[in-house]
Amino acid sequence: MTLRWFLLVSHALFCLGVFGMLTRRNAIAMLLSIELLLNAAGLNFVCFSRIFSNAQAQTIAFFVIALAACEAVVGLAIILSLSRHAKTVFADEAKLLSG
Amino acid sequence: MLLTSLLACPLLGMLLILVLPKSSVRWIRGVAVVATGAALLVGLKVLGQFQPALASMQFEERASWIPQLNISYYLGIDGLSLPMVLLTVLLGFLACLASFGITQRQKEYFALYLLLEVGMLGTFLALDLFLFYIFWEIVLVPMYFLIGIWGGGRREYSAFKFFVYTLAGSLAMLLGILALYLNTQTFDLVALSGKASQLGLGLQKVLFVAFFLAFAVKVPIFPFHTWLPDAHVDAPTPISVILAGVLLKMGGYGFFRIGYPLFPEGAQWFGSAMAVLGMINIVYGAFVAMAQTDFKRLVAYSSVSHMGFVLLGLASLTSEGLHGAMLQMFNHGIITGGMFLLVGVLYDRAHTRQLDAFGGLGARVPVYAGLLIFFSLATLGLPGLSGFVGEFMAFVGAFGVWRWQTMVSIIGVVIAAAYSLRVIQQVLLGPLNERWASMPDIGPREWITVAPLVVIILVIGIWPLTLLHLQDTSLQQFIAHVTR
Amino acid sequence: MPTGGYTIAFVILAALALMGAVWTVTLRNLFRAALSLGLALIAVAGFFLLLGAEFLAFTQILVYVGAILTLIIFGIMLTAKFHQSGGSVGRQPCGWRHSLAGNDITGSVVNRPPLPAGIASVGLFVLLTASTWSLPEHLPDAGLAPTTAALGQQLVVLLVLPFEVISLVILVALIGSVALASEKQRFSR
Amino acid sequence: MIALLFIPGVPLITAVLLLLFGRRIGKASAWLTVLALASTFFMTIALSDLVFAGNRIGFSWVWLSQASANWTLGLSVDGLSWVMLVVVTSIGTLIALYSIGYMHHDPRFSRFFAYLSLFCASMLGLVMADHFLLLYACWELVGLCSYLLISFWFEKSAAAEAGRKAFLTTRIGDTGMLLGILILFWSSGSLQLGNLAQVRQTLDPHVLTLISALLFFGAIGKSAQVPLHIWLPDAMEGPTPVSALIHAATMVAAGVYLVARTFPLFTPESLNLVLGIGLATHLFAATIALTMTDIKRVLAYSTISQLGLMMTALGLKAMPLALFHLCMHAFCKALLFLGAGSVIHGTHQQELEHLRGLRHFMPLTWITFLIAVLSLSGAPFLSGFWSKDAILLQAQHTMSWVFWSLVLGALLTATYLLRLYLRCFHGSPSSDAKHAHESPAIMTAPLVLLAIFAAGIGLVGSPWMHHLFFRIIGVHEMHEGIEIGMVALSAALVLGGFWLAWQVGFRRRQLLPASLRPIGQWLYQAAFHKYYVDEFYDKAILQPFYAATRAFSRFDQKVVDGAVNAAGSGTWRLGQWKERFDRLIVDRAVNGVATATRNLGLLPRLIQTGIVHPYLLMIVVAIVALAVGVIASQ
Amino acid sequence: MSGVLLDSLAAWWPEVILSAGALVVLLTAVWSKRGQIPLILSWVTLGASAWALTQTGVSSNAPFFGLIVCDGFSLLFRWIALGSIAITLLMIMASQEVRASMRGEYLAILLLMGVGLMLMVEANHLLMAYLSIEFVSLSGYLLVGFPDNARAAEGALKYFLFGALASAVMLFGMSLLYGMTDALLFPELLQKIQPAAAAFPQGVLLAVILLLVGLAFKISMVPFHLWTPDAYEAAPMPVAALLSVAPKAAAFGLLIRFLSTLAPLWQDLYPIFSSLTILTMTLGNLVALAQTNIKRLLAYSTIAQAGYLLIGITAGTPIGVQALVLYLIAYLFMNFGAFACAVAVVEQTGSESLDAFRGLSTRAPVLAFACVLFLLSLAGIPPLFGFMGKFFLFGAALQAGQTLVAVAAVINSAIALYYYVNIMRLMFLQSAGEAQALQPVPALHLALGVCALATLFFGLFPSSVLSWLGPIRLVL
């Protein structure tokens, strides 16, 4: 079992997240994709922490989880606000801004 | 402190005007006149104390300003800058008098006007390259507003064109200044003329071109001249006077103060191009002037033509040519300044500048007619008037070096006569156009603004040594330095 | 853990994670997509376990699956009536029940055309893989993995600053979100 | 000798005074002018002793730069210039006097005399100049005065136009002169007029030829030689005294004076040019003069023709003779013009059609006019005879074809002058002539004085006075005695001219055989239309020139300025385009053709809409591209 | 142990005070929803923090076990952060739009954002870098979304989505970088980057680029700039002003620190920077030309300004960095000033169109005058502060042999003149017509006055600012 395979998985997760960001029109779905991105990064950190036997890298993954929570909260709040005002959750349907 | 007080006069005037209430027009005008008049007096005092025999800088003032970069507040005067300073304070004062015709937003007008004078004077006084650049750029902003707010016609377009054009040129100079500093570690122009001329030929060429672009726009040199007709035409009369009289000289002065002494080899390398450009300016400007139907536009293009002589004289690098170039700058300021004042007088009365709208005014307004003829003759380079001396010397100087360029340029003299006479003919001669049957002749205030110019034109035309001896020593040193 | 079992576990987890991720980004039904994300997250937690990061694995399940995902699902339900594109609000009765059933989320309007995005993502993947291919391949023994205790030590001593800072971040996120998401009329009137 | 400054200085100061305070001075300004000019005349006379002794009196001052001695301007008087001084001051004084009467009713009376004084000052300066620069300056100034005086009655468009034409045409010549001066300066380093003989030694003959030809080009303009002669006939729009002084006696002769003054620079090649131009002008203008019907125009063409004769003399290397003829011509032509002025003053007509039989009404005018005509025609022993005779003689000695041409010219001269005379003063009086009155004494007195000169002044150059004139200007070897053959020839020419004038000009007889009449008619028409030179210049030079100026102007607006504006608006458009790129192209490119077609209908909305996904995609693509770029370039 | 923490705190008091103050503001906000108390407390907090910052010496040892550094470089940026917050606070006080929905939370988040900004420039550890960026980003999203309207929500959402992607990419890059170097602390990274780059040339570069994306996003570097106009347009003006200056400045600080850590890779990275520098300013300027909305115009203007700032990085010399910091300080004043003018106009006319500036010289002379000052400074006309910055930046570029960049910058300055002068044209050359005179707002005028004075004074006498830059010794 080698690092390469772990990395393949994390890269795949990351790229799927990117794919989701690019294709999902629903803002909440995009939020889900962001979680995938962050997870991929977290997985990387844990892999490498394992290789280098570095506890600090693992804690970074911990912080990432916490920050992911924050992002999710803020993102959802914004989406709720938008849905209340603009009656839509589609990121590309909000069209008040002219550019 | 003489030079600082020269700068301080208009500056203090500006600050004073800023605190005056908008409605007290009389006071504002008074302050402006006093400020420019004081500058004129200080300028005359400088002239009185100036020692023409000294080749070095005089009235030097130096104070550290940005020590980290060796930048100092460094002013000084020599024979090259003195005529320009005199021109500035004189036209500054006269145009200020002529500005009494401004009827709206006087407070802003005079404040900007005085700021403009500060910038112009500073440009001619600065001996620190950085300081020079600052003053150079300061001029742009008030000019923009002065044309844009109080101008006529397509004033916004013209003002902006002037701004952008000149700034684009100056930015090239900015790069040049930086590159120069990086290579010499100083902004001191006096020190630079020693240090920079040691630079390699390649670098000198590049730097010269960078500075050339800035000066070329100001002079203006074909093909960078198209801002000029627009700006001149749309500016209010006093500003046209300043624009033609002083602003264009900043470009020529730049060559004298920076372009040539700092990069002698570069300048010599560029000499043939300079001569050709001078030739194009002279002939092309004259041709285009000939076709104009708007009086101001015609004068504007004649400026293009006349500034060509400066280039031609510069390119020659001979004593005569350089004397001619310097003299031509001064003369052009005086003559074209007067010309614009006269156009303004006419425009105030007729509200048109179309040449073919006039005719036969010679009988109706004889004094004005006499003045217009006088200035037209000065424009066409009539001997005995100052314009001739500059042009002739430029020709004499340039002919030995740039033969065919000079020969072609001589065509410009003929065309200059053609368009000047056309002005006289269309405005003054022929049967009187009945529209102007009740046009009043020139008034006392207008007289006062023009009369000193008439005297100067005559004095220099008959006895050019009055001006030439001021610049002679400096020019000889200039030649020795550049052609060493 | 023997190598063979390790590999089998890895393969299973990888399959789960990728499957969950693919579903997350492709399923038309948003609710199902969220659940698929949960699957992927759990699989990642499994990876953490495989890598000897037990504490993280539990945190992952607790915080992510337990909190974040729940929050998101609530969000989906709160905004359910808008999960239909075209701004046709209130044209037809639709509530969160409908969205759960995937009835009203129809057709191509849910997603953007996948081709350019797919190309870009695959490109990114190829790039990432190609440039990390040469990393050292071996994984050291599990015994060397940092322990939970070491983790705690890190958090309260060396990383005390980020620990404090993240509390501030969470504070910001919470008060901001509350303020943002709440009906503000009563405050601003 | 600083007193030399007074000679041009006094009229100059007068001019300035009159310009500034003319209206206040009023009628007295005329007398001021007369006084000033008379004083210059007497000053000139006072110099005679020094000049006769062969001295060169000079005065110089530093003008431009102390550094170089080249710019020490000076005035000097030697024989050559002294003679010119005498001509200018004497004729000037008389004409000023005459003008008092002629301009009596003019509203700009004092202005006229101001200009006149200014002209005299400049002309005197020109004559006395000891430096090319000063010469050139005065050269231009006399041109200016000519311009001002031609356009004096500027309400008449024709007068205004004529002034401009005169100034510009001469200015074209002046540029040549300026160029010559420049070449001279750069090849010899000196612009002093006093040492031209030494300069000649040091210069390459080709350069000399070039310089002298260019200087001569200036003379062509000023002296109205072919091809720059067109301005002089039009200049007759000016007041007649002006025509007399400037466009007959003095200024137009400045060209001749210039060549004479710079004679040492002229090489055989350039002298041939002078000869050719002079001779061509002489004959060409004479034929036109034959056909003119305006009294002043006849005289104008006569002037051109006579100037051509002087040039011819110069071309024959007979500089003293040219100068001599210049002086004689000056008096005769001034008198002719003043007589014409008197006629015009008396009849308010200047077309020959309306002038007949004036001799009964204007006897003094008639007599003086006749003297002038005869003198200029070369009737023996009158002034004109001596100069013309000498030139003919010179031509006979050098080139016979020139001689015969000159003979023809002399015949033509006699013919047109006598034609003019006959048609003015003889025949039954026309209606206009019947109301004519003799001019006041203030006008006739100068006529009489000038008539005396015109008749007798030539004697100073005659063998009878031992060629005094030539000795003054420093030529001592003149051959003594009078050739009887020449006298006879002259007399024959005058008589022949008289016969022709009588038959053809006065009595309108057809002398040509019928077969040749169409050719004669054709020739007459051509001459009558001045050989269409004006028309040709208009078509070949002026129209193209104006077209060129307009083209340049359009070029400036459309191309030079247009380029700037285009650059400006191009940048502006680029900005808009880039924004669209941000908004639209990115979106379309990434969504593929299918989406693009779908979006076409939604275009306006898309521009309005903030697009999230294409932006995101762009970010991802940019990341990939950047990474690939960096890694690849590693 | 506690000794280390106490020592560390000594350098970190300003942040501590700011955080504590923010909490107090938050608490008071619960009681007094709309009172002045939170506002006053905010000012007190800012003042105290500033005072603490003056007391903070420059320490060479890195506090908190090396996680952050409080050197001269970060000190300058901390001042910039505090200054931005203070000016924003002034503008908030003046802004009707914000006051309508202003609550204690708003102020607390603003103050906390200050902590984040300071952390960004102090970060000396990958985690701290990521954490602080997220801190600033999250508060940024919230501040944008605060006004109770759809536009704000939409802008916030867009900002959030772009930001989240960018920071996720950055985090991923960090993870890869760590995986190849086994270093989290910057000094450690500096030592290990060279061998790592030798071992995994592509991997390291890829990781670095992913990492830089997050920062590029924050400084609106093309092609990561697209969020900028939308977010600014949606945000209340004071917040837009804050976003245009503070996070950008902090991101530049962090970027410089990063790059000086990655100095061995500079040879490979600099082509990207030089080309993107040119692209950023050109694109920003060109698109700004076409704008008719003042907020969008200023947004694109800030993109172009970021391009100029990037010159300092492209130059890669100490002079370049100093020039960048100098320009940042100038930018702080002039950009805030320009936004403050826009606030005054937009608030009172209710229109964001450029037409609202028409005839301002007669409607509000002082405001118009100040506005001209800022615009000219942004355009780089001497003797204003902006010119000094540009002067140094161009000089740095030339000194580093980046002539192309310098020339491009010069051409861009000329292009930029158009839209700056266009506003001046509307204000001074056009008549006001029907438009009303503007009422002076004291708080805003204070902000304007401070900015104008600084713009003018430091333009005329830049030596004092230059002496502050002396300690900066970072080399890329």
Which chains are within 8 Å of D by 3+ CB pairs?
Answer: A, B, C, E
C109-161 pLDDT tens trace: 456 667 888 888 999 999 988 888 877 766 555 555 567 777 787 777 788 88
pLDDT for position E466: 86
Q: Are B44 and B102 in contact (CB under 8 A)?
A: no
CA B81, B82, B84, B85 dihedral sign is positive
C107: left (phi over 0), alpha (psi -120 to 50) or beta: left
Mutate to test the interface with E, among D569, D613, D615 (most CBs of E within 10 A): D615
**Banded model confidence at residue B165, pLDDT cuts 50, 70, 90:** confident
Mutate to test the interface with D, among A92, A96, A97, A98 (most CBs of D within 10 A): A92
Q: How far apart are the first and last CA of chain C?
A: 64
Q: What is the mean pLDDT of residues C34-63?
A: 89
Structure tokens that stand for D548 in this block: 């060129």
In this structure, the strands spanning B71-77 and D57-62 are unpaired
The alpha carbon of residue B97 is apart from the nearest alpha carbon of chain D, in Å, by: 24
Residue D105: partners with Cβ closer than 8 Å, 6 or more residues away? none
Option in C113, C120, C127 nearest D627 (CB): C127
Return the H-helix or E-strand segment holding D62. Answer: strand D57-62
d(CA D167, CA D111): 19
Residue B284: partners with Cβ closer than 8 Å, 6 or more residues away? B222, B304, B305, D552, D556
The residue range of the domain holding E331 is: 265-476
Residue D273 Cα to chain centre, angstroms: 19
Does the distance separating the beta carbons of D623 and E210 come in below 8 Å? Answer: yes
Q: Is residue E310 part of a domain?
A: yes
Q: Is E193 exposed, middle or buried (0-12, 13-18, 19+ CB in 10 A)?
A: buried
Return the H-helix or E-strand segment holding D82. Answer: helix D79-102
E205-249 pLDDT tens trace: 899 999 998 889 989 888 888 888 888 888 888 899 999 999 999
**Alpha-carbon torsion, ordered E458, E464, E467, E469, to 10 deg:** -30
Option in B430, B463, B464 nearest D157 (CB): B430
Nearest CA in chain A to D579: A99
pLDDT for position B44: 94
Return the H-helix or E-strand segment holding B332. Answer: helix B319-350
Is E289 an 8 Å CB contact of chain B? Answer: no
Q: Is residue A47 part of a domain?
A: yes
Mean pLDDT of chain D: 84
User: Which of helix, strand or coil describes residue B79?
Assistant: coil
**Banded model confidence at residue C91, pLDDT cuts 50, 70, 90:** very low
The residue range of the domain holding A13 is: 3-86
A7-26 pLDDT tens trace: 899 999 999 999 998 888 78
D529-545 pLDDT tens trace: 888 888 888 888 889 98
Q: Is residue A78 part of a domain?
A: yes
E427-459 pLDDT tens trace: 988 887 777 788 888 888 899 999 999 999 999
E302-333 pLDDT tens trace: 999 999 999 999 988 888 888 999 999 999 99
pLDDT for position D606: 30
A with D: how many residue pairs have Cβ under 8 Å apart? 27
- pLDDT of D50 above 80: yes
Burial E421-441 (b: 16+ CB within 10 A, else e): bbbbbbbbbbeeeebeebeeb
Number of separate domains in chain A:
1
Does the distance separating the beta carbons of A99 and E229 come in below 8 Å? Answer: yes
- pLDDT of B120 above 70: yes
d(CA D166, CA B417): 11
What are phi and psi for residue D399, nearest 5 degrees? -130, 125
What are phi and psi for residue D280, nearest 5 degrees? -60, -45
**Banded model confidence at residue C93, pLDDT cuts 50, 70, 90:** very low
Site of tokens 């990115």: D586
- Which CATH number do you get for residue A37? 1.10.287.3510
Q: Where exactly are the structural domains of chain C?
A: 1-84, 96-132, 148-189
- pLDDT of B76 above 90: yes
**Alpha-carbon torsion, ordered D14, D17, D18, D24, to 10 deg:** -140
User: Which of helix, strand or coil describes residue D294?
Assistant: strand
Mean pLDDT of chain E: 87
CB atoms within 10 A of CB D480: 7
Considering only CB atoms, which residues of chain C are within 8 Å of chain E? 127-128, 130-132, 134-135, 157-162, 165-166, 168-169, 171-173, 175-180, 184-185, 187-188
Residue D523: partners with Cβ closer than 8 Å, 6 or more residues away? D287
The alpha carbon of residue E223 is apart from the nearest alpha carbon of chain D, in Å, by: 7
Find the radius of gyration of the CA atoms of chain C.
21
The alpha carbon of residue D108 is apart from the nearest alpha carbon of chain B, in Å, by: 9
Does the distance separating the beta carbons of C158 and A58 come in below 8 Å? Answer: no
Is A85 an 8 Å CB contact of chain C? Answer: no
Q: Is C18 exposed, middle or buried (0-12, 13-18, 19+ CB in 10 A)?
A: middle
Is D6 an 8 Å CB contact of chain B? Answer: no
**Banded model confidence at residue D352, pLDDT cuts 50, 70, 90:** confident
E229-239 pLDDT tens trace: 888 888 888 89
Residue B51 Cα to chain centre, angstroms: 24
Model-level pTM?
A: 0.90
pLDDT for position C111: 62
Strand partners, E55: none
**Banded model confidence at residue E170, pLDDT cuts 50, 70, 90:** very high
Option in D568, D574, D619 nearest E286 (CB): D574
pLDDT for position D600: 36
Does the distance separating the beta carbons of C161 and E128 come in below 8 Å? Answer: yes
d(CA E391, CA E384): 11
Poorest-pLDDT segment among B287-291, E9-13, E411-415: E9-13
Option in B400, B407, B465 nearest D186 (CB): B400
pLDDT for position E34: 62
CA distances from E363 to B103, B113, D34, E344, E436 (A): 19, 22, 69, 12, 7
Option in E158, E202, E283 nearest D631 (CB): E202
Report the candidate in D348, E121, C30 with the shortest Cα–Cα distance to residue A33.
Answer: C30
User: Which of helix, strand or coil describes residue D446?
Assistant: helix
d(CA B346, CA D15): 27
Q: Where exactly are the structural domains of chain B?
A: 270-484
**Banded model confidence at residue E2, pLDDT cuts 50, 70, 90:** low
CA distances from D598 to A23, C111, D602, D603, D604 (A): 17, 15, 7, 9, 13
Nearest CA in chain D to E414: D568
Residues in chain B: 484
d(CA D514, CA E144): 110
**Banded model confidence at residue A97, pLDDT cuts 50, 70, 90:** low
- pLDDT of C77 above 60: yes
d(CA A47, CA A54): 10
Does the distance separating the beta carbons of A99 and D616 come in below 8 Å? Answer: no
Q: Is residue A65 part of a domain?
A: yes
Return the H-helix or E-strand segment holding B62. Answer: strand B58-66
pLDDT for position D393: 85
B419-453 pLDDT tens trace: 999 999 888 888 888 888 888 888 888 888 899 99
Option in A18, A63, A96 nearest E151 (CB): A96
Q: What is the mean pLDDT of residues A64-76?
A: 92
Number of separate domains in chain E:
1
d(CA B468, CA B83): 9
CB atoms within 10 A of CB D105: 6
Q: Is residue A60 part of a domain?
A: yes
Q: What is the mean pLDDT of residues D396-402?
A: 85
The alpha carbon of residue C183 is apart from the nearest alpha carbon of chain E, in Å, by: 9
pLDDT for position C2: 55
Q: Are B291 and D555 in contact (CB under 8 A)?
A: no
Q: What is the mean pLDDT of residues E250-261?
A: 91
Structure tokens that stand for D237 in this block: 């729009």
Q: Is residue A94 part of a domain?
A: no
CA angle D232, D238, D240 (to 5 degrees): 95
Residue B146 Cα to chain centre, angstroms: 17
Option in B67, B141, B179 nearest E376 (CB): B141
pLDDT for position D592: 39
Q: Are D565 and E418 in contact (CB under 8 A)?
A: no
In this structure, the strands spanning B58-66 and D57-62 are unpaired
Residue D605: partners with Cβ closer than 8 Å, 6 or more residues away? A95
Q: Is residue A93 part of a domain?
A: no
Q: Are B260 and B274 in contact (CB under 8 A)?
A: no
CA distances from D16 to C65, D33, D117, D245 (A): 107, 11, 9, 20
**Banded model confidence at residue D68, pLDDT cuts 50, 70, 90:** low
CA C155, C160, C161, C164 dihedral sign is positive
Q: What is the mean pLDDT of residues E149-175?
A: 89
Does the distance separating the beta carbons of B287 and D548 come in below 8 Å? Answer: yes
Site of tokens 């500006």: B14
In this structure, the strands spanning D72-77 and B71-77 are unpaired
Is D397 an 8 Å CB contact of chain E? Answer: no
Q: What is the mean pLDDT of residues E269-287?
A: 88
pLDDT for position E113: 94
D582-620 pLDDT tens trace: 555 444 444 433 343 333 333 223 322 346 777 888 888
Structure tokens that stand for D174 in this block: 């002046």
What's C1-84's CATH class?
mainly alpha
**Banded model confidence at residue A1, pLDDT cuts 50, 70, 90:** low
d(CA E4, CA B51): 72
Poorest-pLDDT segment among A42-51, C91-100, D288-297, E246-255: C91-100
Q: Are B122 and B61 in contact (CB under 8 A)?
A: no
Strand partners, E68: E123
Helices (H), A1-99: 3-23, 27-52, 55-86
Does the distance separating the beta carbons of C180 and E146 come in below 8 Å? Answer: yes
The alpha carbon of residue E77 is apart from the nearest alpha carbon of chain A, in Å, by: 25
Poorest-pLDDT segment among B387-391, D349-353, E255-259: D349-353
Does the distance separating the beta carbons of D546 and B414 come in below 8 Å? Answer: no
d(CA D414, CA D499): 10
Poorest-pLDDT segment among B381-385, C92-96, D462-466, E53-57: C92-96
Instruction: Name the percent of chain E in helix, strand, coil, to the closest 5.
Output: 80, 0, 15
CA D221, D227, D233, D234 dihedral sign is negative
pLDDT for position B112: 94
Residue D373: partners with Cβ closer than 8 Å, 6 or more residues away? D336, D417, D418, D420, D421
B378-391 pLDDT tens trace: 998 888 899 898 99
Does the distance separating the beta carbons of E205 and D627 come in below 8 Å? Answer: yes
